[in-house]
Amino acid sequence: MRALSPPFGTLSLIAKQRTWLVTAFVINNSLPEPLSTVVLEQLKTFNEPLLNKNLIDAEILRGLAIDGRCLQVGLVMPYPGQSQYRDLVMALTNHLAVIEGIDEVECEIGLNVAAVNSGNAKAHPKIRNVIAVGSGKGGVGKSTTAVNFALALAAEGARVGMLDADIYGPSIPTMLGCIDFKPTSQDGKTMEPAYVHNMAVMSMGFLATDDNASAWRGPMAAGAMEQLMNETNWPELDYLVIDMPPGTGDIQLTLSQKFPVSGAVIVTTPQEIATLDARKGITMFNKVNVPVLGIVENMSYHTCENCGSKEHPFGQGGGLATANRYNVPLLGELPLNVTVREHLDNGTPTVVAEPESAISNEYQTIARNVAASLILLSQPDDLSIEITNE
Ligand X SMILES: Nc1ncnc2c1ncn2[C@@H]1O[C@H](COP(=O)(O)OP(=O)(O)OP(=O)(O)O)[C@@H](O)[C@H]1O
| Sheet strands side by side (includes 70-77) | 28-29, 61-67, 70-77, 104-111
CB 183 within 8 A of CB 191: yes
CB 355 within 8 A of CB 343: no
CB 319 within 8 A of CB 296: yes
Least gap, CB of 259 to ligand X (angstroms):
18
Instruction: Please identify which residue in 9, 134, 136, 141 interacts with ligand X, judged by CB under 6 A.
Output: 141
Distance CA 44, CA 65 (A): 17
SS3 228: helix
* DSSP of 296-315: EE-S--EE-TTT--EE-TT-
Does residue 174 bind ligand X (CB under 6 A)?
no
**x/- site string to ligand X, residues 238 to 277, per CB under 6 A?**
--------x-------------------------------
Determine whether the annotation assigns residue 280 to a binding site: no
- Restricting to residues 37-66, name those near ligand X by CB under 6 A: none
Element (H, E) at 246: none
| 351 φψ region: left (φ > 0), alpha (ψ -120 to 50), beta (else) | alpha
Determine whether the annotation assigns residue 138 to a binding site: yes
Least gap, CB of 333 to ligand X (angstroms):
10
Determine whether the annotation assigns residue 134 to a binding site: no
Least gap, CB of 122 to ligand X (angstroms):
28
The region of 140-148, 189-197, 217-225, 317-325 touching ligand X under the rule CB under 6 A is 140-148
Instruction: Please identify which residue in 64, 127, 131, 140 interacts with ligand X, judged by CB under 6 A.
Output: 140
Does residue 144 bind ligand X (CB under 6 A)?
yes
The region of 75-83, 164-172, 191-199, 283-291 touching ligand X under the rule CB under 6 A is 164-172
| Sheet strands side by side (includes 237-243) | 194-196, 199-203, 160-164, 237-243, 127-134, 263-268, 292-297, 330-333
Determine whether the annotation assigns residue 141 to a binding site: yes
Least gap, CB of 148 to ligand X (angstroms):
9
**x/- site string to ligand X, residues 98 to 137, per CB under 6 A?**
-------------------------------------x--
- Restricting to residues 317-376, name those near ligand X by CB under 6 A: 334, 336-337, 340-341, 344
Distance CA 218, CA 248 (A): 11
Nearest to 142 by CA among 120, 159, 158, 164: 164
Does residue 315 bind ligand X (CB under 6 A)?
no
CB 316 within 8 A of CB 354: no
Instruction: Please identify which residue in 93, 95, 169, 347 interacts with ligand X, judged by CB under 6 A.
Output: 169
Interface residues toward ligand X, by CB under 6 A: 135, 138-144, 166, 169, 171, 246, 298-299, 334, 336-337, 340-341, 344
